[in-house]
Amino acid sequence: MTAIEHKELKGITVRNLVVTIVSTASIVASVMTTYFGLETDIRDIKTSQATETRINNIRLKILENDVALLQKQVDEIKLFRSEHLAATPSVKSPR
């Protein structure tokens, strides 16, 4: 230790001040690093969620189109059956 580190200012040594300042700077740097890391992670999660939402919307539209197509086919089958049954004479079985 140098001579200046042994000087006191009302019970506070220069060494204690240096340690306090260095420790505070270290804590601030650690907190800032953590903050920016979390900020980046949050941004990545938001981007991921936005992409997933768009994908889900596209899937939903595809499924809605498939349902509409299937409903149209069911309606056509029902119409065909009703026309076919109407055109076929009914045969009564003898009793």
Give the tens place of pLDDT for each residue, 21-34: 999 999 999 999 99
- For the stretch 47-86, pLDDT in tens is 999 999 999 999 999 999 999 999 999 999 999 888 887 7
Asked, for residue 94, whether it belongs to a domain, the answer is no
Look at the block and give the residue holding tokens 């140098």.
2
Asked, for residue 56, whether it belongs to a domain, the answer is yes
Domain total for the chain? 1
Whether residue 22 contacts residue 8, with contact meaning beta carbons closer than 8 Å, is answered with: no
- The 10 Å CB-count burial string (b at 16+, else e) for 34-69 is eeeeeeeeeeeeeeeeeeeeeeeeeeeeeeeeeeee
What the block records as the tokens of 60 is: 């939903």
pTM beyond 0.85, yes or no: no
Asked, for residue 74, whether it belongs to a domain, the answer is yes
Whether residue 7 contacts residue 13, with contact meaning beta carbons closer than 8 Å, is answered with: yes
Asked, for residue 11, whether it belongs to a domain, the answer is yes
Asked, for residue 67, whether it belongs to a domain, the answer is yes
Domain range for 49: 3-84
Asked, for residue 89, whether it belongs to a domain, the answer is no
